[in-house]
Structures are given as structure tokens and as C-alpha cells.
Amino acid sequence: MCWSTGYDDRDDEGDAMEHRSRHRAGLTAAGALCAVATMAVQIPLAAADSAAGAREYRVQGTPVQGSGSGSGAPSLRPGRTYADSLGPGEKRFYGVDLDAKSAAYVSAVAAPRPGAGVVSYRDGVTVTLKNPAGGICDTVPRRIETKGVAYPLADYVTRQTGSGSVASCRAAGRYLVTVERQAGSADPDSWPLELRLMVEPPVKGGSTEQAPEGSWHAKPPQPPSGGARPRQGGRGFSDAPLVSTGVWQDDFEPGETHFYRVPVDWGQQISAIAELPADGADKSTRLLGQAVAMRAYNPARGLAKRGTALAQDGERPQTEVGTAPAAYGNRYAKADYSVRAMSLTGGYYLAVTLNPPNVEPHLDRTVPVTLRVRVAGRTHGGPAYDGNAVKAGFGLTDAEKREARKAASPLQPDPMGGPGTEHRATLQTVAYTSFGTGSLLLIGLGVWIVTARRRAAADGVREGPETAEPATGQHRYGPPPAW
């Protein structure tokens, strides 16, 4: 019998590979061909990250030092990322120059180190956007939600120009952004700070201010089942790898947050589940119910949805995230942030955090996390932008759409394709597999014949049918080891 892990052969570059095989002498022709065919599809599991301790958030950007007042605030340029730091009780000022037509998003990511002594509701940051006259256009406070769990705090403040927005914030001019860290923090260290300004082009003919589309109250589509493929998450927004519809597996150290980028088009929504193995001691999940957290962010790094724990006794600990369908008009919805944030298309993000206080007493060090993702919904055209929205960071390029198809599980519907894609993907998989296996069989048969003839010549035996008793040895490739 031949075994295969069932993993796709499109792993991330740089994943550590482990390959184990057993060889026994005297392979028969059938055994040799079985081994060759098996080797063609065998993809070993990725090894755990070799770095000691949990990986910290990776801040990437041009160094900048925010001022202590508005008069000396450094300017942030559209499409660029900046790096600063923020101590307890500190407040930093930055300037952004905006026109009277474009929507603008200024995001801030404050990243305490994993394992820092943070306290819920006492550790956090507040981001505020003020117009040239000093009036508040938008303000967003973000606090640590779970005691003792340090994770990146990310969100944005936005300036919209439609009639549903603040009238005093539609004019052109120099706006001020402030990022303030809460005083009295239990963590005395300065937090790395990542800032980004994104400017969305206006819509031709003016904003449509159309009503939100889609039934966001409906239950999100069920994420896919099945075996997982390895995918190592990024250490921040900037290096998040692409994932789409499929099942993925990653290894975490307690305290780490991993990021994944999910392409979403107009009319589509994300449904994702992050799950852990059961407690190795007693198989109970009750104490692991809050061990994994997940949050979804939109392309401008605004918080789109917090995860909801699904763990019940006797089941694997799970956290679920389900978003509303992406629609331009969502920005004018009289609803909570989770709908308004789904008003953009492009690369959304899933941030998964392994909470150390819940995990370490029950699971040993590196913990495998399975991420099940489905991008669902019929795509449709969006607004006619008066400018290059994709270049500004909104929307998907043709290359990204192709990459999304490539990343999707072959047996799952193509999130970027139309009807019948699942059937075509299945047929392609069968065709490629049949062609590849057939070629390998012919090659393997040729190698076996040549080897047999050379062995016969070396032993002085006349060429003819093989008369020796077939050996019982064979290559055997087991399924992935259990968690």
C-alpha cells in the first residue's frame, strides 16, 4: 500500500522540509512504481520555527518621530508606511494633507511584545483625526481585551466626503492625527508603532451613497473541511502571505500573532475558523475555549470583525469570524463598525493570536493551529473610481486574482471564478495527476528494466524473465503524525 499526505505541492518558499523514507532491498516492479508515484505527491510537514520564544510583530516602514504638539507634526504621505514608538501616557501628532474629494484612512498598529504584562482595559491606544479647525472627524479607542494577552492593537480613523459624513471634515487642508497610549500601563516598555495613510480615489460623478448590499445578518457560509496544507503566517500586515478558500495549518508559540492576507472582491465575504487540538491530558476543551483569538481587518487595516469562541466540551477549541459582504455603500450604513468596515475590496487580513495563559498549562510549547477559510459570494462590478484605486491599495490586480485561484483548494469553489469552477478544478486536478503519474510510471519502469539487466550482466546470468522470489520491502509514506 502507498500513502500520501494529500498536501498540495505549492508550499511557501522557505518552509523547512522533513523527508523520511525506508528502503529495503529487492523491490519488485510494482513496488518500485508505487514508491515513485508516491514520492511525486509527498510533501512533508513544515518544521516548527527555530527561533527561541514567540515571534514579535514586525514593524516595517520609514522611521518617523511624532511631535508633542500639532505645530511640529511630521507629514505622512499616501501609500507609505511609517515606524515610530509609543510609551505609557505618551501622545504623538502627525499631519496629513487631504483634498476635498477623496476618502482617507490613517491606520495605527501598536504592538506590545508577546508575553508583556498587559491588563485588559488599562492598556490600549486611541487614534483621533482632527480637521484643520481642530474639530474631531473620527476617533477610535482600542484596548487589550483579554488579561495577560499582549497582541497587536490595530485600527484606523477615516475621513469620508459623502453627505453621510461630518460636514466640517469634507474640506481640503491639513488634518492632524494623534495616537495616544493609555497612562498607568502595567507594561513600562515602549510599544512599536506602525502608521499608514491610504487615500481612496473619488467616484466618478460623485459618491452614489447607495444603500448597503447583501444580507449581513445571514449566517456566514460554512468554512471548508478536509486536510490542511502548511502555510506560515506573517509577523505583521506587511509580510502576510496570501490564503484563500481552503484549509491551512501553521505552528504557533504561545503569545504569537500570525497574519494572513485574504483577497476579497465586491459582493464577497469571509468566513473563517481557527481551531486547536484538544487538551492532550484529558481531551477537554473547556479550559482552552479562549486559547485562540482571531480578528479580521480590511485593506486599510481597519478592524472589520472580532472572532467568537465556539468551543464546547468534547470539541476542538474554535474561534469563528464571519464578515458582511463587501459593498461600497456599507460606509454609510447606520450600523456597527463590522458593516462599515466592509466597504472596500482588496487584501483583507486575518490575525490569529495564541493566548499563553490558556494554552501553556495544557499544550506543549509549539501548537499547531488549523485555519479554515472560505471566500464566498457572487462577485459584481463596483463603483467607477476617478483614479487608479488598485494602485492606491484598494481592489485586486489580475495577478492577485490568479494567485487567489492558485492558492484555493482544488476541490473548493474558486472564489474569483464563476459557476462550474469547482468541476473544472477537479477535472484539471485529475488530468494533471493522471499525466504526471503516467509519466512517472514509464520512467520508473525504464529505470527498473535497466537496473535488472545490469544486475543480471554483473552476475553472469543470461537475460530473461525474472525468476527470483519478489521481495516484500517497499517505500511506505505514512500520514502526517497526530497532534
The DSSP line for 457-481 is HHTTPPS-S--SPPP------PPPP
Q: Given this model, what pLDDT does residue 483 score?
A: 34
For 61, residues 6+ apart whose C-beta sits below 8 A from its C-beta are 80, 81, 82, 83, 194, 195, 196, 238
Phi, then psi, of 74 in degrees rounded to 5? -70, 150
Chain centroid to CA 188: 30
CA distance 310 to 315: 9
Question: How does pLDDT run across 388-406, given as a tens digit for each residue?
Answer: 999 999 999 888 887 776 6
Q: Which residue has the cell 488530468?
A: 431
H/E stretch holding 273 reads strand 269-275
* DSSP H helix total and E strand total for the chain: 5, 19
- One CATH from 3.40.50.10440, 3.40.50.300, 2.60.120.380, 3.30.70.360 for 59-200: 2.60.120.380
Residues 6+ apart with CB under 8 A from 202: 101, 102, 103, 161, 385, 386, 387
458 vs 463 pLDDT, higher one: 458
Query: Which stretches of 312-362 are DSSP H helices?
Result: 337-340, 356-359
pLDDT at 155: 98
Report the pLDDT averaged over residues 315-335.
87
- pLDDT top residue among 196 and 149: 196
Higher pLDDT, 225 or 212: 225
pTM of the predicted structure, to 2 decimals: 0.74
Average pLDDT of 162-190? Answer: 92
In CATH, 222-418 is 2.40.10.120? no
Tell me the C-alpha to C-alpha distance, in Å, between residue 324 and each of 238, 301, 306, 340, 391. Answer: 24, 16, 12, 9, 25
Compute the distance between CA of residue 438 and CA of residue 456 in angstroms, rounded to an integer.
27
124-174: pLDDT as tens digits? 999 999 999 999 999 999 999 877 889 999 999 999 988 778 889 999 999
How far, rounded to the nearest angstrom, does the alpha carbon of residue 189 sit from its chain's CA centroid? Answer: 28
Q: Are 70 and 44 in contact (CB under 8 A)?
A: no
Beta pairing class for 292-297 and 346-354: antiparallel
DSSP strand pairing (246-252 vs 229-230):
parallel
319 touches 371 (CB < 8 A): no
**Residue 26 confidence (pLDDT):** 38
Closest CA relative to residue 109, chosen from 270, 284, 265, 235: 235
Sheet holding 103-110, edge to edge: 62-63, 81-86, 191-200, 103-110, 153-159
Question: Which regions of the chain carry the CATH code 2.60.120.380?
Answer: 59-200, 222-418
Strand partners, 105: 158, 198
Residue 275's beta-bridge partner residues? 318, 370
Q: Are 99 and 134 in contact (CB under 8 A)?
A: no
Q: What is the mean pLDDT of residues 166-187?
A: 94
The position carrying cell 514579535 is 56
d(CA 126, CA 141): 4
Percent share of the chain, pLDDT over 90: 48
Closest among 119, 224, 85, 106 to 154, alpha carbons compared: 106
